[in-house]
Structure 1
Amino acid sequence: MPATLAELAEVPAASSRTDALAILSEQAASRLPDLVPVRNARMAATPFTFYRGAAAVMAADLAATPNSGIRTQLCGDAHLSNFGMYFTPERRMVFDLNDFDETYPGPFEWDVKRLAASFVVAAREDGFDDAEARKVAKRVARAYRKSIARSVGKSTLECWYARIDTDQVLAELGEKLDTAAVERTRKGLEKARHRDSVHALSKLCVIVDGVAHIRSDPPLLVPLHELLGDAAGELVDHQLTDRLAEYRESLPHNTRELFAQYTFEEAARKVVGVGSVGTRAWIALLLGRDLTDPLFLQMKEAQQSVLAKHVPDGPVYDNQGRRVVEGQRMMQAASDVFLGWQSGVDPDGVVRDFYVRQLRDGKGSVVIEALEPAGLEMYAKLCGRTLAQAHARTAQRHAIAEYVGRTKEFDDAIADFAMGYAELNVGDHAALVAAIADGRMPSETL
């Protein structure tokens, strides 16, 4: 039976949960051993950084609670830091979901719950009291509910083409926030507009005798030849060329022709994020005409979604990179033209799946720590609306709108869940800190 709205507030009892550290240790088995301590250190920094890296922990918890039975395409890791700005192919700056490593079909409210709980965790970290934190979580749910309700009155194509322009967001913020907050947002937007491959070249490379080389900053950024040795590095260079050719076949024909104008120059391993640390992530420098015409691609390992084992009869993918790409294209208002996938043999001889995208294309995010209660509440509304817009691109918007209804019952249930789950997260974070302190979990701060 589908859960009632009131039942959505339930959180699993602490005594019945799968141990969070056991889940993290299971994930570590498939990751680069030298980077697992880095991941643990980043997650241990604060309750919020733990939450960011604990998508697998929350997936197990969500699966143990009543659900709506309404399945749609999920982001799978819809916490507040996975929303942000980027350029569309038409060079418009939009605000949207921007991380899909865990995308997979599942009960729609799993995304809403992860988003709302992330705001509670962040609000507490910023010193907000429980009443303020709950208000922000409730704002997420209310914005989601109202946006989904509006989507039912729109045509299918209107829902598909809907997008949130950052200039529009800035105008809305200007009406409700103080001048200093708006100015910080404006500066962040301008900074994002200049984050592209040319900017990446200036930050990540050194130029020697007219040739660009990726900088060495181990273990966060390590050129391939330094990581593997010259002989092995040269071999992997050739393999990467082949893998980029396979990736090219995953692109639409017009983008293949665009990509064909670039030549592979060099690659490096780059550590990214919190939860992703330890998975294989490469950056590849390609050049078009000359050094003024660079393209930086990120090739990021795609493992099975953390949701997959918890969703009965879910789809099976022959390539997890393709899962990420197809989920992203389904949920985003506009996606990177270079978004694609491939698989190949890694230096250790294991075949792994990857998805590929531009490393930087106007990407930027809000500095949550700088937001006052009013600002965080506005951001919660924006993210809730954005998530609803992503879900509304599917046929399930009608069923979701009918389920959540037009009263505050859904909002209250999600807010109650978020408050309860934030408490579980505090305990899990403390357990990781303790395990690092007594040597059960390795840690290395960079």
Structure 2
Amino acid sequence: MESFGQRQGGEKTILISVNVQILENLDAEEFRLLAKSAGAEIFEHLTVQRVKPDAKFFIGTGKAEEIAERVTNEEIELVIFDQALSPAQERNLERILKCRVIDRTGLILDIFAQRARTHEGKLQVELAQLDHLSSRLVRSRSNLDSQKGGIGLRGPGETLLETDRRLLRIRMEQLKDRLEKVRKTRTQGRAARQKANIPTVSLVGYTNAGKSTLFNILANSDVYAADQLFATLDPTLRRLDWEGIGTLVLADTVGFVRNLAHSLVESFKATLEETLEATLLLHIIDSNSPEMMEQIEAVETVLNEIGADIPTLRVYNKIDQSGEEAKIIYAKPHQPERVYVSAHTGQGLDLLRKAVHECLMGRIQNFELLLKPAYGKLRTQFYALNVIQSEHYDDEGNLHLIVAMAPQKLEQLIKQAHLPIDEILGTQAQQFKRPLEEFEIKR
């Protein structure tokens, strides 16, 4: 069997999208972006129509022979399919095409291998790649012994070619043990935040929806952001002060994509655990994408798969491109459902902050407070939250404040300071005698 030595990235590539009547047809432009993100030099993008997949070649014998002739004539180095191929189909295609063949899952894994930066991210990628390639060991040994790397073979792919199934299983168990330790560390961190009553807000959304750009603005951070698929792979957490709320943790997560293999979801579960444990999800949506509805459905499907039953605020980003205006849409009074913003221009970010405040703390109201001179610490907390609208002192040295904040947060601060709520709020304190649920968002 002929061997196909490859250079690192930049392979001359043919993309093949297969529209199968019994399967979901994928977005051709997204497929091209995935290939470009992996570094492929796209020579041609072919679309094949099938009633159902061919068991041997997925695309049928005649079409496979036609593509094989093109591969030979144009010296094509790599063929990528926008569907999941079985190991046998990959082997059969490589024999007839006489070049390397990978499927959609292999392509996404290669991008993950390039983008992983943290220790945890690299562990996740290696485990996912080994899981995907374990069933392809026969192909690897038979015709890829002289591989030098390339799209679909970065990271552990190179060492896998010299590893038998027994050693492979041992390595996968080692990776799972190490990832379990990472999960425990994350769990301890989350437990500490929950004990301190610190809410976590996680940004989720389709890849390239603008999550990292928005994250950088909200957290005043410098997380890598680019106009490409899977620019972010590793989860990033930042602790920050949010007006009217106080300390919260903002989390940026890996972008979602349609038809993500179940094995990938499983392997990246530690990354997605930040989503599972969040107090609020911000579902970032590219409002300018022609595939917007399909992308929303893809994200919600994965969230359902991992059991993320968490209050969610939809954030429609890129309104500077879509022509929408900055606004908040409410499902009920004081219950935000959607916010329209532009992370690029800053439009609507003040509305986003207000909506997050309402989602976490409830309806914002104005309260008149009376603070004795000894209650100065409480005044300092109000200033830290930036909720004071006005203040003045009376002749007895008492401070009269007007603050704009959620009743739940106000009651929490007064109780934590062990101060008399009736004295500070006067007749306004009566509303706090009612069940707290009246001040909370019904979710």
TM superposition score normalised by structure 2 = 0.29
Larger of the two Rg values belongs to structure = 2
Which protein is richer in strand relative to its size? Answer: 2
Which protein is richer in helix relative to its size? Answer: 1
Higher relative contact order (CA 8 A, sep 6+): 1
